[in-house]
Structure 1
Amino acid sequence: MGHVYGPVPSRRLGRSLGVDLVPFKVCSYDCIYCQLGRTTEKTLERREYVPITEIMADLEGLLAQGVRPDYISLAGSGEPTLNSGIGELIRKIKAVTPIPVAVLTNGSLLWRDDVQEELLAADLVLPSLDAGDAALFELVNRPHAGISFARMVEGLETFTRRFPGEVWLEVLLLGGVTGIFHEVEKINALIERIQPNRVQLNTVARPPVEDFAYALSLKQMRALQQAFTVPVELIGGIDQGNAAPDGASAAGAERILALLERRPCTCDDLARGLGIHVLAAMKELDPLLATGQIQTVVIGGKHFYRARPEEREGVALP
């Protein structure tokens, strides 16, 4: 299962089966808050980084095992719209399963006609908007030189108007940077232009790449939420109704490592996402820790497990 991982516990999508369309950290941004580390290849080149036939083989194999997530999410460890086969992949997924397809994107390429056309078959697109002006866009997202702030915002606006499904815009705020009222007012003005179906407010929840990417407290988030003139929802914790049943079986070390290579998780995250008991998750984590394949990090008082950097670089993608 080199290209499909999870299901992962998603605060936005419930249990989400992830699909990786590019090699590790091939992206158009190098965001200071990224949970996966620094971008290894910052690019705007669109090509079939991962063969669609291989992705479908992995996906159909998991679906045949009875895995039934709430969404199949095209996301992974880089920017999925860089894969030129994303449109073909969406169509093929919808031909074999009724599970809705979501695309999690940084939104940097939505100004391109070809990207817009290819995403039209998806059920849900979740782009990001992390800054209200060009200066903070450069600071927070560290985009490829070929992406201007104005072009990125225009892409969000034109795609949202064209897309027949729903667009849920994520706004991630950082303490002392964008998490202040003056900056939120700028972001709000852009949201009024873009007019997404939902706006979801977020802050750092997993270990960021840069130590100065500070999370906001719940009290601060609620205060900033009031500064928006459009309806804004705070992204909360995992729904406890998604907890794994007591009798669930082990997921296997390979599936757990594949998940942790893409995103840090707590033990509870792993249990809920993979549909196993929390004790089974702990049993699988112990040998991975002992052999040094994963490590722990504490953020916000929670213990997260993640693949060691040298393991991440070895993700089995072309």
Structure 2
Amino acid sequence: MYVFGPVPSRRLGISLGLDIIPYKTCNQDCLYCQLGRTTVKTNERRTYVSVSDLLNELKSVLSKNDSIDYITFAGSGEPTLNSDLGKIIKKIKEISSIPVAVITNSLKMTDEDVRKELSAADLIVPSLDSAVQDTFERLNRPCENIKIRDVIDSLVKFRQNFSTTMWLEVMLIKGINNDKENIENLRSAIEEIKPDEVQLNTAVRPSNSGEAKPLNMEELQDIAGYLGRSCRVIASFDRKSNKVYNLNIEDEVLSLLKRRPCTLKEMSEVLSIHPNELSKYLGALEKDGKVKERVFNSEKFFQSC
């Protein structure tokens, strides 16, 4: 299953997701990741999926949906680690006029070939959580020998050489990257990169670490004002006003959890729902007080309230 959704997105409206990387294969192990710890940590690119199978699945889903705002490379791993990314984007452009977006952690953009591949998309949403090396390593826990200065330089080069729209995402975690030094360095980096927009986020969903504490709205707004007019705080998506949210899936999740606690991966396999899509439903159910999480033997389980 390569295609998931459509799902409601705070940034992209109705987004049809493409997952071209195996579950939790990434070149980072971020403290705030809602999908848990990275299990395969690598910075090497390789072929992970059958391009023809992915395209056939995408065609089938598109034939049944006419209200999609973006086809989005996201999911449960870092999409730029797939060496077929550029080919897949071009093939999608041949079969659909829906805008293509790529959500990336930015690390592989130091590779000139990756920058060229991403330029074929309509929108890229790269991350930059800190411009300070020590904080970058503590918060994002990248593969060895990755320098945040190199990542910033690659984002600058992308903006200089390509016209693809760029929304730069910054994830702020209380007590880690919201201090004066980090915010001032972020502001300097943003002035260099010149993205079309800067989007401030914080840890609104349960993460794999107890260290990931959210900022409140007032704190986010203050920082947004300091970072400049192109910066905005990403508002929560109102799921109840959107027809895409499937209440039957909520019922299935609750029915399963009433029988026994489950991990995200177990529920994904039992219900045949992509982990990234399922996490949105779990987040909503937690917010409504219907589901809670607990950790047992270092694994995160969900259970009915």
Whether these two folds match at TM > 0.5 is: yes
After TM superposition, give the deviation of residue 84 of structure 1 in Å: 0.5
Corresponding residue for residue 27 of structure 2:
28
Letter in 1 for 2:135: L
Task: Point out where structure 2 has 5 or more consecutive residues left out of the alignment.
Answer: 268-278, 300-305
Query: Do the aligned residues in 1 keep the contact of 2:27 with 2:143 (CA within 8 Å)?
Result: yes
User: Would you say the 8 A contact 1:3–1:19 is kept in 2?
Assistant: yes
The equivalent of 1:44 in structure 2 is 43
Aligned partner of 2:250 in structure 1 is 282
Describe the superposition over 1:150-180 as per-residue Cα deviations: whole angstroms up to 9, x where unpaired: 2111111111222222000001111011123
Task: Point out which structure has higher relative CO (alpha carbons under 8 A, 6+ apart).
Answer: 1
For residues 178-193 of structure 1, the aligned pairs below 5 Å read 178-193=177-192
CA contact (8 A) 1:206 1:299 kept: no
- 2:168 matched to which residue of 1? 169
Identity %, equivalent residues: 39
Residue pair 2:8, 2:239 contacting (<8 A) in 1 also: no
For the residue of structure 1 that corresponds to 2:73, the secondary structure is strand
SS at 2:57 equivalent: helix
Q: Which amino acid aligns with 2:167?
A: W
Output the aligned Cα RMSD: 2.5
Give the equivalent residue in structure 2 for 1:128.
127
Q: Deviations over 1:178-212 (max 9, x none)?
A: 12333211101100000001100110121111111
Match of 2:127, SS?
Answer: coil
- Deviation of 1:304 after TM superposition, in Å, equals 6.2
Question: In structure 2, what is the Cα distance between the partners aligned to 1:45 and 1:12?
Answer: 29
Does the alignment pair 1:229 with 2:239?
no
Shift of 1:85: 0.5
The residue number in structure 2 matching 1:198 is 197
Distance in 2 between residues matched to 1:197 and 1:209, nearest whole Å: 31
Q: Say if 1:69 and 1:305 are closer, same or farther in 2 by CA, change over 3 A.
A: farther
- Summarize the Cα distance change of 1:202–1:224 in structure 2 as closer, same or farther, 3 Å threshold: same
Q: Residue 256 of structure 1 aligns with which residue?
A: none
Is the contact made by 1:192 and 1:230 (CA closer than 8 Å) also made in structure 2? no
Amino acid at match of 1:285: V
* Distance in 2 (alpha carbons) for counterparts of 1:305 and 1:77: 22
* 2:237 counterpart SS class: coil
1: CA distance between counterparts of 2:292 and 2:10? 17
Which residue does the alignment assign to 1:262?
none
Indicate the SS of the match to 1:110: helix
Return closer, same or farther for 1:89/1:305 CA change in 2, 3 Å cut-off: farther
Match of 1:217 in 2: 216
> 2:94 matched to which residue of 1?
95
Give the 3-state SS of the residue equivalent to 2:226 in structure 1: coil
TM-score, normalised on structure 1?
0.80
1:216 and 1:299, CA in 2 relative to 1: closer, same or farther beyond 3 A?
Answer: farther
Q: Quick check: 1:180–1:224 contact (8 Å CA) kept in 2?
A: no
Q: Give the distance between the partners of 1:58 and 1:203, measured in 2 at CA.
A: 33
Question: Which runs of 4 or more aligned residues in structure 1 lie more than 3 Å from their structure 2 counterparts after TM superposition?
Answer: 239-242, 290-306
What is the CA–CA distance in structure 1 between the aligned matches of 2:16 and 2:99, rounded to whole Å? 11
Matched, 1:16 2:20: no
Give the corresponding residue for 2:69. 70
Work out whether residues 44 and 146 of structure 1, in 8 Å CA contact, stay in contact via their aligned partners in 2.
no
TM-score, L = length of structure 2: 0.84
Deviation at 1:37, TM superposition (A): 0.8
Which SS does the other structure have where 2:114 is aligned? helix
Q: Report what 2:276 is aligned to.
A: none
The unaligned stretches of length 5 or more in structure 1 are: 245-271, 313-318
Structure 1 residue 46, shift from structure 2 partner: 0.7
Equivalenced residues, count: 277
- What residue number does 1:105 align with? 104
Aligned-pair distance for 1:302?
5.9
- The alpha-carbon distance between structure 1 residues 164 and 304, as it changes in their structure 2 partners (threshold 3 A), is farther
